Structure 1
Amino acid sequence: MRVVLDTNVIISGLNFPGNERLVLELALRGRFELYLTEFILEEVAGVLGRKFNWTGDRIQQALRTLSDTGQMVEPPRLPEVIEGGHADNRILECAAEASADYLVTGDRRHLLPLEEYRGTRIVNAPRFLSSLEAS
């Protein structure tokens, strides 16, 4: 199963207990194929430093773990789905390039309302975990 985790899921998984952490742990254990881009890793690094005061060393270790676990893709720019140059378009590009089965996100404003993008189901962490249990 090919999966893209939105930055908010990775950030939550690294900082808080709950469904997002479980999803991240399953990715790290190889329960599904995780796909990443440089954009996602840069966004994770920025948020961890800015909002959570992680040290540079701790951020680099987290990024190494993610990049060692996931497969990097270099998606082309696609027509914007979310207007105004919104960063969530970069997440959708990753999902499209990876031919992802799922994009897991907590973004209720931009991504979850789409429900699907180019064959990728867009779901929150609890729904993704239910789908994993069913498979």
Structure 2
Amino acid sequence: MIRVVLDTNILYSAILQRAGLPAAVFDLVSDGLLIPCVSPAVLAEYHDVLLERPRLRPYAERAHSVLEILAKVAIRVEPTGVVTESRDESDNRFLECAEAADAAYLVTGNIKHFPERYKATKVVTARQLWAIMMAAGREEKQ
């Protein structure tokens, strides 16, 4: 299974639009094909954004469901270093988590805020990760 760090905007989009690629990526987590990795800072941002933003109030049940799934399946890590690679300071917490988890991918909707790769982690969009996963599935069937 593949370790990933999901930027909050991926979860936000998955909650708002069940038919989009961020939701499809989260479904891969729910199906056990991806292992999400979280740190205390990442979890705190998830809770702050997904439970407190007025735009998500109509989707509170779905937001709670997403957080419950993550609580059950996510690998919790404790970053040991401080990262300063991202232009957006809060996004550095996701890179720190990815490094501590040795995640293969960091999935984000704000790819311009991140380097293309950070150490062992490749930064990708939901569309790119979906394509990677679908290609891997086709290879397994051959």
Same-fold status (TM-score > 0.5): yes
Identity %: 33
Q: Which residue of 1 aligns with 2:93?
A: 90
Deviation at 1:67, TM superposition (A): 1.4
- Unaligned ranges ≥5, structure 2: 137-142
Q: Alignment partner of 1:87: what SS?
A: helix
Rounded to whole Å, the distance in 2 between the matches of 1:103 and 1:24 is 13
Q: CA RMSD in A?
A: 2.1
The yes-or-no answer on 1:39 pairing with 2:41 is yes
Q: Which residue of 2 aligns with 1:20?
A: 22
- Superposed CA deviations along residues 7-62 of structure 1, whole A, max 9, x for unmatched, are 11111112213000000011011012211122222212222222412687775554
- Unaligned ranges ≥5, structure 1: none
Range moving further from structure 2, 89-98 or 5-14: 5-14
Deviation at 1:79, TM superposition (A): 3.6
Contact 1:45 1:59 in 2 (8 A): no
Q: Which residue of 1 aligns with 2:9?
A: 8
Contact 1:5 1:104 in 2 (8 A): yes
Q: Give the letter for the 1:6 counterpart.
A: D
Q: How does 1:1-135 map to 2 (within 5 A)?
A: 1-16=2-17, 17-48=19-50, 49-50=52-53, 51-53=55-57, 59-82=63-86, 86-111=89-114, 114-135=115-136
